[in-house]
Amino acid sequence: MTRIVIVTGKDLLALDPGDIADYAAARKASGRKVASLPVAYELLQEIGGLPDAPPSWRQVQARGQLTVAELADRYPVTCRPVRDVLVHYLVERSAMLDYGSLDNQAQMLVGLFWADLERHHPGITSLHLPDEVAHGWKQRIRTLPDGRPRRNFHAVLLTVRAFYLDLLQWSLEDPASWAQWAAPCLISEADVRGYIKQTRCRRARMAERTRTLAPVLPRLIDAAERQLADAARLREAARSVTPGGEFVLDGARYLRIGPRRGFSPPVRLLAQRLDGPGRRFDVELAEDNAFWAWAVIEVLRRTGLRIAELLELTHLSLRQYQAPTVEMIPLLQVSPSKTDAERVIPADPELVAVLARIIRRIKTADGRVPLLARYDTYERNFGPPLPHLFQRHYQRRLQVLSANKVRDLLDRLAEHAKILDVDGTPLRFTPHDFRRVFSSEAVNSGLPIHIAARLLGHLDLNTTQGYVAVYPAEVIRHYQQFIADRRGQRPSEEYREPTDAEWKEFRDHFSLRKVALGTCHRPYGTPCQHEHACIRCPMLRLDPSQVPRLLQIEDNTNERLAEARQMQWLGEVAALEESLRHIAKKKQQADRLQRSAFGEGPGVDTLL
């Protein structure tokens, strides 16, 4: 603040947010940090400065919600009339959309659709696109600039299709405003037909991910609990020695680092491990991160909340309900988020214990939970000051955890726990993974699906079904019952332990399947129906390396056929011709095997 006063020449209490913003921009341009600026901003407010300014420096820096015109003008559009109709359309749609969805619509219609058309077709001014222009855009939108396939390709097509169809409908209702822009829709039903298949594939990927993560979730929970316990013991051990002193914990030697430049008392509790590689670290920050990682996991896995709903939990979210039996039931009230409808979740004793531990941690000396305004990164605005549960001290001030910080805590914990997939790939957990595991376990444990939908905040049961269609319990149960019934109808002798002779016969069967031209694939226990005439047997799996032998047999058969015709052995002629037909089929089989193994290329005929 002294530097700002010197540069501006103003009195300290006369400074305004613009002066501070100019100082921050100058520091950033010179490559220096301004980490202490938020604290300085709050101190200036406490002594009477910045009377009409926002309560925090972060609120000054927040961009806030852009207008529809500002959202559209982020993308370079040359044709002003088309830009105006796009803005007008988005204004009409904004009444039914939240800010995040409106932002996505603006990106798709203005950025990915019209701005792309102007880049590839300069001077275009009409929404009535020629077929070749429309086809070229649909091909370009399938891939990202780096060449990777665009995962929301169908979402872009559906947005543009809705835009054209809305213009057609609105042109009938308000011709003066929309009739001149009505044009045939360039997105046909055939173009968006793959959306259903894409949705099924996405659900299949989500189901596979849930099946992968659910079995290893207990390991992540154990890792979080161990990490928190170890961090708490390390913090207490570090506090028990003076700066510059050494201490031992679990066989490891640590040094508590004293304050720099003679500052006293030390601002942070720093330590460094002496008997192993490692940089100095903030012991209290490590314990704080461990606690919030544990708290996030416990609340998410016991409630199935969305990440936004988790961070919006406040001290006011805890309620009690008195049942007709006079029993008091704790409830967790979830604020409206994605569906704009609040809901109430019964809290089990374990969840109540977790929430109570969080409240004890964040309460001040006077027994109150501090009031903080949370910044919604999706809606781009600050909420009212509330006693948020997921708040922490960071950089010497209180702030509500962000969604990115929650994801970072989960990633670090999964890396620390060394949780790997069956192929050795490291597994990571996202906040939404806990929601899917929660819904799957609840429904598969017998909870009616309509009750699960209410707990999850779904307006459509099909959405809930998509979350829980991971383990087809009914299919598995009925199939197992079918196998048990079928076994009950067969003789019990079939399920006895095989004798040594029977086991030897079984092994010998597979040894005897190897023949000159390949492998015999006849079922176990069945005799050879062609008296070992393998050329005629459909059970012969030809070995491609034996094709020359097959060609020798074909030449020999042709010679025998010529002799039989000369000698008028008509029965032999018919048998040899039948053998040649089977040899031709075997050549075709070998050709298919070679083509499938090496791609389209030379077949058997090239060996002739």
pLDDT of residue 221: 94
Same domain, residue pair 265 and 399: yes
From 431, 465, 491, the end of a domain falls on 431
Same domain, residue pair 279 and 152: no
Same domain, residue pair 241 and 335: yes
Same domain, residue pair 18 and 96: no
Q: Name the one residue in this structure whose structure tokens are 């430049």.
A: 261
pLDDT of residue 451: 80
Structural domain boundaries enclosing 49: 2-61
Same domain, residue pair 244 and 164: no
Residue 261 gets the label, from left (phi > 0), alpha (psi -120 to 50) or beta, of left
The predicted-structure confidence for 221-248, as pLDDT tens digits, reads as follows: 999 999 999 999 999 999 999 888 899 9
pLDDT of residue 114: 95
Closest CA to 143 of 153, 129, 133: 153
Whole-structure pTM value: 0.70
Same domain, residue pair 125 and 228: no
Same domain, residue pair 45 and 76: no
247 neighbors 461 (Cβ within 8 angstroms): no
pLDDT of residue 602: 44
The predicted-structure confidence for 107-129, as pLDDT tens digits, reads as follows: 999 999 999 999 999 999 999 99
Q: How confident is the model at residue 267 (pLDDT cuts 50, 70, 90)?
A: low
From 18, 39, 61, the end of a domain falls on 61
Residue 470 within any structural domain of the chain: no
Q: How many angstroms separate the most distant Cα atoms in the chain?
A: 125
pLDDT of residue 264: 45
Mean pLDDT of the region 263-278: 73
Residue 334 within any structural domain of the chain: yes
User: 3-class SS at 547?
Assistant: helix
Same domain, residue pair 39 and 175: no
Query: For residue 329, what are the β-bridge partners?
Result: 321
Q: Name the one residue in this structure whose structure tokens are 């932002």.
A: 103
pLDDT of residue 162: 94
Residue 261 has pLDDT above 60, yes or no: no
Same domain, residue pair 411 and 377: yes
Closest CA to 15 of 396, 35, 23: 23
Same domain, residue pair 399 and 281: yes
**C-alpha–C-alpha distance, residues 514 and 233, integer Å:** 67
Residue 540 within any structural domain of the chain: yes
Residue 89 within any structural domain of the chain: yes
The predicted-structure confidence for 473-528, as pLDDT tens digits, reads as follows: 666 666 677 777 777 777 766 666 677 787 777 677 667 777 788 887 777 667 67
DSSP per-residue letters across 231-259: HHHHHHHHHTS-TT-EEEETTEEEEEE--
Residue 22 within any structural domain of the chain: yes
pLDDT of residue 510: 66
**Cis, peptide link before residue 54, omega less than 30° from 0:** no
Contacts of 126 (CB under 8 A, 6+ apart): 183
CATH number of the domain that residue 300 is part of: 1.10.443
The predicted-structure confidence for 392-426, as pLDDT tens digits, reads as follows: 987 778 889 999 999 999 999 999 999 888 888 89
pLDDT of residue 163: 95
The predicted-structure confidence for 346-394, as pLDDT tens digits, reads as follows: 888 899 999 999 999 999 989 899 999 898 888 888 888 999 999 998 7
Q: How confident is the model at residue 606 (pLDDT cuts 50, 70, 90)?
A: very low
The predicted-structure confidence for 176-205, as pLDDT tens digits, reads as follows: 999 999 999 999 988 888 888 888 888 888
pLDDT of residue 391: 94
Q: Beta 514-515 vs 518-520: how paired, if at all?
A: antiparallel
Q: How confident is the model at residue 6 (pLDDT cuts 50, 70, 90)?
A: confident
From 431, 459, 482, the end of a domain falls on 431
**C-alpha–C-alpha distance, residues 590 and 602, integer Å:** 11
**C-alpha–C-alpha distance, residues 539 and 210, integer Å:** 42
Residue 23 within any structural domain of the chain: yes
- Cβ atoms within 10 Å, residue 166: 15
Same domain, residue pair 153 and 15: no
Residue 209 within any structural domain of the chain: no
Same domain, residue pair 328 and 350: yes
Domains of the chain: total: 4
User: 3-class SS at 165?
Assistant: helix
Residue 223 within any structural domain of the chain: yes
Closest CA to 391 of 370, 360, 365: 370
Q: Any idea what DSSP says for residue 329?
A: E
